[in-house]
Amino acid sequence: MKSLIAWEPQWCAHDADSLVESMAQYLESRGLINDGKRVAAALRQRESFGNTLIADNLAVPHAQSDAADEAIMLFVKLREALSGWQGVATVDRLIVTLLPERPSEHDAAVLKNFFQRLADERITQTFSVGECDEVRETLLQLLPDCAAGRKRRRSPTTQ
Amino acid sequence: MTTEHRQALIDYLMNHRGFVSGEQLSAVLGVSTKTITRNVKQINAQHPNAPIIESQRGRGYRIDRQHYLVTANGDSNAERLVDPNRMTSMGRRDAVLRQLLVASPHSYRIDAVWGKFYVSDSTISSDIKILRSVLQQYHLILNRSYDQIWIEGSEADVRRSINDLLITDSGILDEDFGHTDQRMQRRDSAFVTHQLDLIEELTHAKIPYPYNVNLFSHLYILIERYRGAGALIDTSSGDDAQLVSMQQQGLAKVCECVIRNLDDYLDTTLPGVEVANLYQYLTSSRIDSGRITVSEIPEQVRAVTDFLIDRVSEDPSYHDIGSNDLFASLANHIKPLLNRLENHISVKNNLLEQIKLEYPHLFDVVREASAQLVQRYRLNSIDDEENGFITVYFAQALENMHAPINILLVCTTGLGTAQLLKAKIERRFSELNIVETVAVRDLKDSLASHDEVDLVISTVGLPSSVHIATLVVSAMFTGEDQEQLEHEVDRIRKGMSR
């Protein structure tokens, strides 16, 4: 499983659609997915099914797509809050999750645990308002793979 | 109802803080509860912008004093409430009662008690007659000799009457409680609160509601009595024997400590019987210092608890209500209850009306069972307030008897928001059994293999082919979502019980 943080990236995203596009392009540019357009479409489709807001300013868009070979989690903190997410919300933070069509049992278990831990208000609070270091630490706690790989590489990586 | 009767209703509510039950109003005003309801409507109809009298299911009626005084500005009835010289007759009698009870057996000149109200001799005679009948219920005598008046009776009865008549149903002392000095009232209140904290600290236990309110009232009344009557209080009521029967040494020491603090606070030396009195109150309270095991429960408590459960189980509706959990929780309640009965200590049950309304049949069955219990074990009678508390334990057992509602949680992948929802639901809805979390595309298969599922909860829209109850909620699982889920659970429960 890969985990990344994009902290106030220089994206030209003026609305929800272009933000989804930017996030997908970012993952593609990092070589984590092979088709950004397909991933963007999958994320948009998921949003059309129902709201993914888990706090006033925090959404968790997610999708399953064969454009990803392994599970990916991207934490995004925008430079400026974006209004119009789901038509009404104003978000400045997103946790994007991408799953391959057939995720490994290990990745599925890690993700299950991650989302269950989001029910803890302290964790949601950190993701909603925490500084970059706090967010990274919390992600490392919740995603043990990334913590294990930390010694080998900087993870979660930050733009 | 005539205008006079409507005014009597308003007067009564103006003189009682908090909610007053329809039954109580009916008894006091001599009309049916339906008439009370009708007249509350009529009174409120005169104030269409905002009702004067608030009514709440299970609690009764409460008047908005400020609103009444403002809207009735200029009305002579309202003015007489503002002006103590023209107080309502009920308010006047309450004020007299406070003055005499707190200082009992101290005698006052009749002029000194009624003078400020500027009422005729015949009104004074009428007030005395009414107060005598009220006090009679507490075995207290209102004496009048020439121009002197005073209340006579045992200290226990005086305190019981103060507790019943001058303490509001919400457990808060009446704001007019004989005090012109609000600062002193606040100081007394803070002191008593501190003593309760101290008791909890020394016993390493929590005194839950309503026992904390009861203890608060006991200590507060004690302060008022010693400040109001002091040396005149008769403490030779033969309770000294109880000093030696304080079996729990640790608790006795706590009581001594608190009474010594009261000595310092009142700058006096309270008699030893006050330690025994406080001990009685503490042993009559449920003190939560961790759950006691079944083997630690005294024999009599076991027998009484078993008897109650057996009698209630005889009713066809509650055949299967008996369980270890019910026994353990009820026995924990019965232990201090038996002490309360022995010591004639009553605890106010502010939820009584609500309990009767929600569990009318169960309440009747419990009342009948406790009446048999009193006969069988020769106990002092168990009042409705206590029956209400007992009913709650049976009601809880009844709720626990319900089969769990089986649910499926759905999101697009089954791994994302459905998992978040799972954690939130597990935390807040213990009666729901989560069978599985699934991806929306796997829902059909999952339902086919789990025919026990009663409800599907999803963070995404569901296909119309799902033929069982469904609920779509947000990933945030907002208060509104939770409310909808509660409604859905209620609806399913009702369907199950048909």
Is residue B288 a part of any domain in this protein? no
- Report ipTM (2 d.p.): 0.87
By three-state DSSP, how is residue B377 classified? helix
Q: Does the CB of A67 have a partner CB in chain B at under 8 Å?
A: no
Are B158 and B195 within one domain?
no
Q: What is the pLDDT of residue A158?
A: 56
Query: Are residues B475 and A97, on separate chains, in Cβ contact within 8 Å?
Result: no
Residues of B whose CB is below 8 A from A114: 419
Does B173 fall in a domain? no
Hey, what's the torsion of the CAs at B258, B260, B264, B270, to 10 degrees?
110
DSSP 8-state assignment for residue B19: -
Pair (B215, B146) in one structural domain: no
B327/B395 same-domain check: yes
> What per-residue confidence (pLDDT) applies to B378?
92
CATH number for the domain that contains residue B8:
1.10.10.10
- A115 vs B419: CB contact, 8 Å cut-off? yes
Burial B336-366 (b: 16+ CB within 10 A, else e): bbbbbbebebbbbbbbbbbbbeebeebbebb
Chain B residues within an 8 Å CB radius of A46:
412, 460
Chains A and B form CB pairs within 8 A to the count of 72
Q: What is the pLDDT of residues A14-60, one digit of tens each?
A: 889 999 999 999 999 999 999 999 999 999 988 888 888 999 899 99
Same domain (yes/no): B429, B477: yes
Q: Which residues of chain B have pLDDT under 50?
A: 1, 74-83, 86, 169-179, 238-244
One domain, residues B194 and B243? yes
Domain that holds residue B263: 182-283
Q: Is B177 inside any structural domain?
A: no
Do B409 and B397 belong to one domain?
no
Q: Residue B441 has which token pair?
A: 């595309």
* A residues 21..50 contacting B (CB < 8 A): 46, 49-50
Who among B440, B458, B474 is closest to A53 (CB)? B474
Q: What pLDDT was estimated at residue B352?
A: 85
Show which of B55, B82, B109 is a domain's final residue: B82
Verify whether the Cβ–Cβ distance B415 to A51 is below 8 Å: no
* Chain A nearest CA to B443, separation (Å): 15
Q: What is the pLDDT of residue B49?
A: 72
* CB-CB under 8 Å, A117 with B423: yes
User: Cβ contacts (< 8 Å) between B461 and chain A: which residues?
Assistant: 49-50
Question: Are B75 and B23 members of one domain?
Answer: yes
- Collapsing DSSP to helix, strand or coil, B303 comes out as helix
Residue A24 main-chain phi, psi, to 5 deg: -65, -40
SS3 B363: helix
Look at residue B174 and tell me if it is in a domain. no
B72 with B116, same domain: the answer is no
Question: Within 10 A of A60 (CB to CB), how many other CB atoms are there?
Answer: 23
B470 touches chain A (CB under 8 A): no
Mean pLDDT of all residues belonging to chain A = 87
Please report which helix (H) or strand (E) contains residue B264, including its range: helix B249-266
Does residue B176 form part of some domain? no
CB B138 within 8 A of CB B177: no
Domain match, B299 and B271 both = no
Neighbour count for residue A112 (Cβ, 10 Å): 20
How close A46 comes to chain B (CA, Å)? 7
Domains of chain A with CATH codes: 2-158 (3.40.930.10)
Closest residue in chain B to residue A56, using alpha carbons only: B476
Total structural domains within chain B: 5
Residues with Cβ within 8 Å of B151's Cβ and at least 6 positions away in sequence, in order, are: B100, B101, B104, B105, B135, B140, B141, B142, B143, B158
Whether the link from the prior residue into B210 is cis, omega within 30° of 0, is yes
Distance between CA B171 and CA B193 in Å, rounded? 13
Compare CB distances from B412 to A46, A112, A116 and report the shortest one's residue: A46
Q: Which has more pLDDT, A158 or B193?
A: B193
Is pLDDT of A88 > 90?
Answer: no
Place of tokens 């808060």: B172
Q: Residue B411 belongs to a domain with what CATH number?
A: 3.40.50
Whether residue B91 sits in one domain with residue B77: no
The domain boundary, picked from B27, B49, B82, lies at B82
Closest CA to B99 of B111, B81, B85: B111
CB contact under 8 A, B420 and A99: no
pLDDT for res B171: 43
Q: Is residue B289 part of a domain?
A: no
Q: What is the pLDDT of residue B235?
A: 63
Answer whether A62 sits within 8 Å of B419, measured CB to CB: no
Domain's final residue, options B354, B370, B401: B401
Residue B370 burial by Cβ neighbours in a 10 Å radius (0-12, 13-18, 19+): buried
Residues B303 and B380 in one domain: yes
Same domain flag for B420 and B456: yes
- Report yes or no on B259 lying in a domain: yes
User: Closest by alpha carbon to A48, among B138, B440, B404?
Assistant: B440
Structure tokens at B196: 């309760």
**Is the minimum CB–CB distance between A119 and chain B shorter than 8 Å?**
yes
